Amino acid sequence: MQPIRLGLVGYGKIAQDQHVPAIRANPAFELVAVATQGQPCAGVENLQSLGELLENGPHVDAIAFCTPPQGRFGLVRQALAAGKHVLVEKPPCATLGEAMALVDLAREQGASGLYAWHSRYAPGIEAARDWLASRTLQSVRIDWKEDVRKWHPGQAWIWQPGGLGVFDPGINALSIATHLLPLALFVESAELRVPDNCQSPIAASIKMADARQLDIRAEFDFDHGHDELWSIEIRCAEGVLRLDNGGALLSIDGVRQAVSEEGEYAAVYRHFQQLIKDKASDMDLQPLRLVADSFFVGSRTLVEPFYD
């Protein structure tokens, strides 16, 4: 079988660290072009923009989008209109409306789309899903607490309107929880704590439920310098499942379980390959919808100003 000829748009840190190594390690893909205005990518044709790539670049079957979510909507639309399959980094778009419209457009075009919620491919997730499938769920508790100064030093965009604040890491937790749980989740209430010199929350408490009234609570904290944790604990009638380190570690009733050894982005691209083969899409809106609804119905409390 011929490899899928892939273009990539936005050759920044996540593309360099994760996407390009995962693509090059997967013989089903051939990276043939990169559109970037910064540092060029070695060994492929580099172009100034998506428009130039589509017009003057080598033929591609699919395009991976690693530019920031602001402005990505028009680019992905352009690629879909040109008949390309698309892989879109998280969060897919600046607004839920944009993300919803791309789902419709991919369907209309018969293209394969993937909203790449990469945390869903963390090592412990598949084993967790398998274990949960036959269990009786009782409650879910998410703790996602890290030090923004360490992970996003000087990144003012996080705090601006449309920046996700603590939901930037938090959306990863929501992407895992929605992948693990059998029914859709709904925001019942949210408390957003916003530094009084910022627009986006530095901490949040979210209460969610599904149609069976499963109690799901999330605590997000972005100003947590000591003992960072990224954990999801699911209490079932049969025992307690716990994911730690963002899904890298899995334990059941305190006993460490065997997990996958495949990297997150290796699994992302393997999934994309399968979607293209199956002429299918996986453009799940749910994590972004939970964030938008948290902003929509959440109460806001001003807290002390944030200085980087």
- Tokens standing for residue 124: 């412990």
23-82 residues near a second copy, rule: CB under 8 A: 73, 77
List the one residue from 95, 205, 231, 257 that touches a second copy (CB under 8 A): 95
106-125 residues near a second copy, rule: CB under 8 A: none
Q: Tell me: does residue 289 bind a second copy (CB under 8 A).
A: yes
Q: How far apart are CA 73 and CA 92, in angstroms?
A: 8
* DSSP code per residue over 115-173: EE-GGGGSTTHHHHHHHHTTS-EEEEEEEEE-BHHHHSTT-GGGGSTT--TTHHHHHHH
Q: Tell me: does residue 171 bind a second copy (CB under 8 A).
A: no
- Contact present, 196 and 302 (Cβ < 8 Å): yes
Among the listed residues 13, 84, 90, 150, the single catalytic one is: 90
Q: Is 207 an active-site residue? A: no
- Contact present, 90 and 97 (Cβ < 8 Å): no
Q: Tell me: does residue 295 bind a second copy (CB under 8 A).
A: yes
Nearer to a second copy, 277 or 300 (CB): 300
Determine if residue 30 is left, alpha or beta; phi over 0 gives left, psi from -120 to 50 gives alpha, anything else beta.
beta
- 239-244/249-252 β-pairing: antiparallel
Q: Tell me: does residue 212 bind a second copy (CB under 8 A).
A: no
Q: Tell me: does residue 291 bind a second copy (CB under 8 A).
A: yes
Helix axes 125-132, 167-180, angle to 10 degrees: 40
List the one residue from 161, 226, 237, 258 that touches a second copy (CB under 8 A): 161
Q: Tell me: does residue 264 bind a second copy (CB under 8 A).
A: no
List the one residue from 100, 229, 240, 248 that touches a second copy (CB under 8 A): 100
Which parts of this chain interact with a second copy (CB under 8 A)? 73, 77, 94-98, 100-101, 160-162, 184-187, 189-190, 199, 211, 285-286, 289-293, 295-300
